[in-house]
Amino acid sequence: MFVTGEAGVGKTSLLRRFCAEQHDAPRLVWGACDPLFTPRPLGPLVDVAEATGGELLHVVDEGAKPQAVAAALIRELAVRGPTVLVLEDLQWADEATLDVIALLGRKIETVPALAVLTYRDDELDRRHPLRIVLGGFARARALRRVDLTPLSRDALARLAEPRGIDADELYRRTGGNPFFATEVLAAGDAEVPATVREAVLARAASLSPQAEALLEAVAVAPPHVPLWLLEALTEDDLDGDRLPKKLQPHRRKLFGLTIDPVRLQQIRTERKPGSRYATLEQCKKEVALAEEMFRIERLPALSTTHTSIEEIASKVLAQFGIQKHMF
Ligand SMILES: Nc1ncnc2c1ncn2[C@@H]1O[C@H](COP(=O)(O)OP(=O)(O)O)[C@@H](O)[C@H]1O
Ligand SMILES: [Mg+2]
């Protein structure tokens, strides 16, 4: 069985509950991969072997080849009573572990065991070696897949109610991700807690520069940004001092916002201390390019450094002659 879903969606929680509810007492063995730069060889299988002991522990301790480890694992599963074997977070598996799992996949139907493999499907690119391994399981007749999705608005409402927190706001902030939601609820105030900030930044740290630029554009745009706008915001020609091509047809609706580079540096330092992105030099360069573009393209513009969001809104409305309706 595969259990998939983004980080924090509840894979581990679901499996803990599932294992706790097994009353006819199969043997439960659990192994997990860790997010290491140099994954420990056979990492999750070391956990499993420590639980089973016997021949499997012996071959793993010896650092045997994947074939020998897989054979020992299959024998271990064959001779003992029914087993639930959970292997978690395979997006971080080392190559030896992946080979063992591939070999197990071919024999899983011959042993009295349920193998539950979890991974973050949104973190596997097309060439991730785990994909090949999973492909091997696809032939197993008994294969099941559980793709976990974030919590619904109703589920969030049930979590938020005892704390008197607005469920719609919680949904807007967390998208229903249970990890984000429970951390925000535990913090008990409107601020995004440090735990969530750390978790998000840790994931952003491994992105390519292009993916990071896209993430930054999405982060400042409202939910459901139209694709053409994202393309315009992330195209390389944003580096130039002319308006990106995709924005040109909309130029009569554009309004430039700029900021004092020192203030921008403060904001970026809070977000990503010590990064190139947060250096004063980088901030000055980007602000100068943007201001040059506003000037050349004759866009109306405004500095946001000492301006409240209400003042910005009313100046933009006045510029375009839009009527303000008060409800
Ligand atoms: N169904 C749920 N209802 C409420 N909270 C949940 C639920 N599933 C997970 N959580 C919370 O979210 C956190 C992250 O879940 P976890 O199972 O560790 O996610 P994953 O293993 O997918 O990364 C858990 O600590 C738990 O508090
Ligand atoms: Mg987990």
Instruction: Please tell me the residue having the least CA distance from ligand 1 atom 12.
Output: 179
Can you read off the two tokens belonging to residue 67? 């074939």
How high is the pLDDT of residue 248? 85
In terms of C-beta density within 10 A (0-12 exposed, 13-18 middle, 19 or more buried), how is residue 134 classed?
buried
Can you read off the two tokens belonging to residue 245? 């091509």
Q: Which residues surround ligand 2, an ion (CB under 5 A)?
A: 11-12
Instruction: Please tell me the residue having the least CA distance from ligand 1 atom 10.
Output: 178
How high is the pLDDT of residue 301? 92
How high is the pLDDT of residue 245? 78
Can you read off the two tokens belonging to residue 262? 């020192």
- Where are the strands (E) in the chain, listed by range? 2-4, 27-32, 83-88, 113-119, 145-147, 256-258, 301-303
Q: 133 Cβ partners below 8 Å, 6+ apart? A: 90, 98, 101, 102, 105
Give the whole-angstrom CA distance, residue 125 versus residue 135.
14
Closest ligand 1 atom number to CA of residue 14? 17
Give the whole-angstrom CA distance, residue 54 versus residue 76.
8
Alpha-carbon separation of residue 272 from 243, 249, 277 (angstroms): 28, 34, 8
Give the whole-angstrom CA distance, residue 99 versus residue 130.
10
How high is the pLDDT of residue 138? 73
- Is the entire prediction scored with pTM above 0.75? no
Which residues have C-beta atoms less than 6 Å from ligand 1? 5, 7-13, 159, 178-179, 182
The pLDDT tens digits along the chain (327 residues) read 999 999 999 999 999 999 999 887 789 999 999 888 788 899 999 999 999 999 999 999 999 999 999 999 999 999 988 999 999 999 999 999 999 999 998 888 899 999 999 999 988 888 889 988 888 777 777 789 999 999 999 999 999 888 888 888 888 888 899 999 998 888 876 567 777 887 777 777 777 777 887 887 777 766 667 777 777 776 555 566 788 777 888 888 899 999 999 999 998 888 778 888 889 998 999 899 889 999 988 999 999 999 888 888 888 888 888 776 655
Beta-ladder partners of 257: 302
Mutation test residue for ligand 1: of 3, 13, 34, the one with most atoms within 8 Å of CB: 13
CA 106 to chain centre: 31
Domain ranges in the chain are 2-147, 150-205, 207-327
2-147, superfamily in CATH? P-loop containing nucleotide triphosphate hydrolases (3.40.50.300)
176, 156 contact by CB (below 8 A): yes
Q: 130 Cβ partners below 8 Å, 6+ apart? A: 90, 91, 93, 98, 119, 124
Question: 3-state class of 190 per DSSP?
Answer: coil
